Structure 1
Amino acid sequence: MTIVLIDDDISDIEYCKELLSKNFDGFDTLEYFTDPLKGLEYLNEHKPDLLIVDVEMPNLSGLNLLKDLKSPNTEVVFCTSHDKFAIDAYRHFALGFLLKPYNETEFIAIITKALHRLGSSKKEPVNNKLLLDTLALENKKIAIPTLGCTYFSKIMDIVRLESVDSYAKIHLTDGNIHISSYGIKFFENSLTPPLFFRVHKSHLVNVKKITKFFPDGTLVLDTGERIPVARRRRAGLLELFNGQSTSVLN
């Protein structure tokens, strides 16, 4: 088994090597790079089993490195000192995520999970493009035109949109509500699956805010709000969770 570490901080690489040597065995090669461009070159040539890569690096970020990775069977574990990154997105795509400074117990758990996936005959390939599109959407802001002014909100701060006549009522995580003269259709072009889903002609919801789904077609959000799901849209909503973390619907 070949493991590759890519991180611009050599002290993090050394600690990662120490944790691997202390808690795991059975790997033949352990390569490391502080230059992500050289690391990517090695990855595409040798196609290692496991990659542990920092998210934020000069010249080439971990996310862009994943985009250029030509080794579909390599198991990827991301690490970063900034928890602002989309932890849920990584987990939904069955990728590991480590927060710096490393906690040894969490490190063992994430690496063990990655190694189990490597040995699984049922391992499903990760859709890298979908992952990158999801992460890009999560860190993006959206303009909300209203009669008084235009607000700018982070997309992931939107809980749901509700159609009221020809207007759109935008509900935010902080409890604020903006009423836009533009309808839901206008926002639907930017708020797309897999993060947002049009569950009803009058409702567009942030999928990550869903906590329950009842057989009668009622969604419950983490705000406690209950949203109807049109019968013809229920199958599509459930399909959205296939291959992701379906625990949100339990």
Structure 2
Amino acid sequence: MKTLTAILIDDEISNLKGLAQKLGKLFSGIEITATFQKPEDAVKALKNQQPDLVFLDIEMPRINGFELLAKLKEIQFQVIFVTAYSEYAIEAFKQNAIDYVLKPIDDEDLIIAVNKAITVIQTKNDLENNSKLVNLLTNIISNNNKIIVPTAKGLSFIPEEEVMHLEGFSGYTKIHLTNTTTLTSSYNLGKFEKLLNPKFFKCHKSHIVNLEKVRHFENEGYLVLDTDERIPISKANKKAFLELFQ
């Protein structure tokens, strides 16, 4: 695992030193790049450069931990709140914290919270790297007229002419093929919309069709494919679809 960067924010210097020591002892793969006692200084720093992980005290003078996060337009880091009051826990999770630890910090609680954050960070990096790979491969094999489909088993390379339509559901995409089989991808339909060439038309918020497979347009709001499947087309997309054939 690559080294993760962390920033510690607490108005009490003794708490900062204690947490830094514990992290150094328990997690050799975490580099503390900065510590802040003044929340105002932390806000300025986080607006310019964000670490992987932020340990954030809740009770601080002038700006508390929740208010500090509200001042940031973008939050790419994982947050672990550090507090002496357990009643802050519910509010902490509403603020999308990965976890919280109570003062005085117990080693086991800290290990659980940090490991949870590391898992989220690694998963995010894996998804980003996979996305970069797909984009790269798309550029490389675009002349071969294939669609790259990330699946649970890896990557499938499907010739465009074998794709009937793509159907979005619950954040996933089901690819319907000419042989009546389907593939399910972890990519949502919007992601595929950006990767596909113009021969694919988004006729509905949940459907993209291969225009070469459309046999008939029904006035009541359906496209009929070569397989006799009827795919809904929204009123907003009817005009754009018909203009393609004028």
Structure number with greater CO (CA < 8 Å, separation at least 6) is 1
For the aligned pair, the TM-score class normalised by the smaller chain equals 0.3 to 0.5
TM-score by length of 1: 0.46
